[in-house]
Amino acid sequence: MSATAGLGDDDLRALDALVDDALAAGREERLPTLGYGEISLVLGWPEADPRFACKRMPAFPTRPAFESYRRTLLDYVSALEAAGIAVVETEMRGVDRADGSVVGYVIQPILAAETLAPGILHRSDPASGHPLVAAIVVAAATTVSPRVGLDAQLSNWAWQDDRLVYLDVSTPMLWDAAGRSLLDLEPLAQAYPAVLRPPLRRFVAPRILDGYRQLREVYLDLTGNLLKERLDPWLPSFLREIATRLPEPLTESDVHGYYRSDARLWGVLLRLRRLDRAWRLRTGRTYPFLLPGPIDR
Ligand SMILES: Nc1ncnc2c1ncn2[C@@H]1O[C@H](COP(=O)(O)OP(=O)(O)O)[C@@H](O)[C@H]1O
Ligand SMILES: [Mg+2]
């Protein structure tokens, strides 16, 4: 039996109804939140004794659109596993709406808080090092390719029984042999103001996605995020490991430069979503997405 089989369809509908009520009332902060990523809000369920991490995706317009995303996500998990990465057991389930749309949830067992990588490094001494540093650098080097992308940021890893586990598969980054992205951007695009969706799809999203299939960019993103997580003292450890995997080493000033531009990009994207939410609420509609709170940079 799968580890997430204990979450019934009724439970999922109850969770989805709770999210809907919170969105309608503008009370997202009351939800049982486990964590925030750049893209999604992760809920813990059941509320009283959370065992499942439930990541709410935007609504898909139809069942087939949902099924197709689900297939890509499962293919992505298989591609990561084929590259030697242990992925948390992951399921994608849908909640059908009266209008035919389907809200997607990516569901995983909750990993113990003390196994999450950012906390481990916060509690460890950079001078003594930690084996998860080299493990992440190696995992990225063996996975990233023209057809498989990886978001190697620390917040996407856990360290269990001396081995790495990957948990962020909601945005499956796969490309076909012709170089076309297999990720359906439509549900993500819906979170932005309508006039901006065409340029976001055409210019911004492909640029962001491409970064995840280029090892140097993946490392810049990983190390840039150390600054965001206030883990700067760990930067030299990572840069030393990375130097063994790249033709040209990364420097601290590369990382600081990248971090400034990346923080700007995500800051702008988040502000656009907040703006769209404010606009929809003012015009009597609901904004059907969960947004992370203010990001401290
Ligand atoms: N299975 C899980 N168990 C415990 N915490 C989790 C789990 N999945 C996600 N989280 C928490 O939620 C955060 C965001 O989840 P993630 O899947 O990385 O979403 P995003 O795509 O938005 O980055 C993680 O960094 C972690 O803190
Ligand atoms: Mg993440």
List pLDDT tens digits, range 178-208: 999 999 988 888 888 888 898 888 888 888 8
CB of residue 108 inside a 6 A radius of ligand 1:
yes
68 φ, ψ (degrees, to nearest 5):
-70, -40
Percentage of the chain exceeding pLDDT 90: 65
Q: How many CA atoms lie within 13 A of 266 on its CB side?
A: 19
CA 201/CA 294 separation, integer angstroms: 25
How large is the average pLDDT for residues 233-256? 97
Sequence-ordered list of residues with C-beta below 8 angstroms from that of 210, at least 6 positions apart, any chain:
217
Asked if the model's pLDDT at residue 18 lies above 60, the reply is yes
Question: 68: CA distance to ligand 2 center in Å?
Answer: 22
Smallest CA separation from ligand 1 atom 23, residue: 37
Smallest CA separation from ligand 1 atom 2, residue: 110
Q: How far is the CA of 109 from the CAs of 43, 158, 167, 273, in angstroms?
A: 11, 13, 10, 29
* Region of 36 on the Ramachandran plot (φ > 0 left; ψ -120 to 50 alpha; else beta): beta
CA 244/CA 226 separation, integer angstroms: 19
CA 22/CA 289 separation, integer angstroms: 11
Instruction: Write the pLDDT tens digit of every residue in 31-61.
Output: 888 887 666 779 999 988 999 999 988 789 9
Smallest CA separation from ligand 1 atom 18, residue: 168
CA 162/CA 210 separation, integer angstroms: 31
| Distance in Å from the first CA to the final CA of the chain | 42
pTM (2 decimals)? 0.92
Question: 240: CA distance to ligand 2 center in Å?
Answer: 24
Smallest CA separation from ligand 1 atom 1, residue: 110
* 3-class DSSP assignment, residue 274: helix
Q: Element (H or E) spanning 223, and its range?
A: helix 215-228
CB of residue 193 inside a 6 A radius of ligand 1:
no
Q: How far is the CA of 42 from the CAs of 153, 156, 167, in angstroms?
A: 17, 12, 12
Ligand 1 atom index nearest CA of 111? 3
CB of residue 156 inside a 6 A radius of ligand 1:
yes
Domains in the chain: boundaries: 9-282
Asked if the model's pLDDT at residue 72 lies above 90, the reply is yes
* 3-class DSSP assignment, residue 151: coil
